[in-house]
Amino acid sequence: MAKPKKKSGREIFALGAEAVVEGALLAGCSFYAGYPITPSSEIMEGMASRLPGTSDGVFVQMEDEIASMGAVIGASLAGRKAMTATSGPGFSLMQEFIGYGCMIEAPLVIVNVMRGGPSTGLPTSPAQADVQQARWGTHGDHSVIVLSASDVQECLAMTVTAFNFAERYRTPVILLLDEITAHTREKITVPTPDSFEILYRLQPSMPPEWYKPFEETVRGVPPMPPLGAGYRYHVTGLTHDPLGFPTQRPDEIVALLERQFRKIDQFFFDIQLADEIETADAEIVVVAYGSVARSAQLAVAQAREKGVKAGLLKLKTLFPFPRTKLERLAPHCKILVVPEMNMGQMSREVKRVNTGQFAVRTINRVDGQIITPAEILKVLRRR
């Protein structure tokens, strides 16, 4: 979705965080609310200097991460493409509003630059320990899209994808980066705006009195007009009927929640993004995401040199978990290696979808250090 149609654009030397800013502006983001937190603050600073110079861009620094999410949701209701960025502790504070965003189906993007935890943890060190929180952090059953990026160019592309998914599916989208990805500086190409597909939320074309803001539709995604456009409706975090008003009727409750899951599930194949590197004949495949995927890519190349039929499945979509990408490996691949900077969060998903085809090996680091290619290579060569 976010692949450039042709090679064009300007080259810059940028941090991952700066690439997120470029991506957001390309995607049409015109509202940013946030609260400073290491290691995500460069995104906020970038938006602060860039947004006021755009035709309608708004930047506001709020009093905390709760308020930041509230402002982003308000902006989304008012018709803006809106985002915020944070890190672990701030992400925890946002959870209440993430659930609200899912419930009212507000398109918005949250970037979480993961650092070591729990609690204040390791503010300046990388981790990938918020993976399951991104999926299940807010209370109640909900459906959400979680994406990831492993290098600076990908930070830009995945930010655009995050906005496109948010608008298309009317949902909060979480982009999980880690401290290394956000703080790596490298040369990237900022594509020209017309080289990307940019999506906008569906607008109602029916007369206002026909409009039902939470109506069942074929795609499961009702149109969403901005506040003040003549389609007066009610928005609430309470379980609501198709008109948006609170309901306790069992049939309406189940219809709402099932639609909210289905609108994402039914487009699973459009949403599951992963790069397959040397997997066609691989007997052992590394499943990795974020900065660890770069270590893994080198390890796979080195393993190939040593005659090991290794491959890499680089996950760009973490949730909904891209299980069919794994299933396609089964005929030739017997072993999966899941390296990650946590105690084993994505490997839980891998093990969950594994019905015995694979042996799953995990590599876990929680000491604030990156997982090196050598560590992965060692596991790849183990027989």
Binding site for another protein (CB under 8 A): 31, 33, 52-53, 55, 57-58, 60, 62-64, 66-80, 82, 96-97, 100, 226-230, 232-238, 243, 245-246
Report the residue number, 108 or 271, with the smaller CB distance to another protein. 108
Quick one: which of 82, 92, 83, 90 has its CA closest to 39? 90
Residue in the block written with tokens 């999506």: 199
Q: How many CA atoms lie within 13 A of 275 on its CB side?
A: 19
Report the residue number, 118 or 228, with the smaller CB distance to another protein. 228
Report the residue number, 248 or 355, with the smaller CB distance to another protein. 248
CB of 206 to another protein, least distance (A): 16
Residue in the block written with tokens 């973490």: 318
Report the residue number, 234 or 328, with the smaller CB distance to another protein. 234
How far apart (Å, rounded) are the C-alpha atoms in residues 36 and 277?
A: 36
148 to each of 233, 257, 292, 327, how far by Cα in Å? Answer: 34, 26, 11, 21
CB of 31 to another protein, least distance (A): 6
CB of 237 to another protein, least distance (A): 5
CB of 119 to another protein, least distance (A): 20
**What token pair was written down for 244?**
């948006």
Helix H, strand E, coil C: the string for 292-333 is: HHHHHHHHHHHHHHCCCCEEEEEECEEECCCHHHHHCCCCCC
Beta pairing partners, 148: 176
Report the residue number, 206 or 238, with the smaller CB distance to another protein. 238
Residue in the block written with tokens 């990307």: 196
CB of 56 to another protein, least distance (A): 8
Query: Dihedral (C-alpha) 330, 331, 334, 336: value to the nearest 10 degrees?
Result: -30
Report the residue number, 81 or 115, with the smaller CB distance to another protein. 81
CB of 202 to another protein, least distance (A): 19
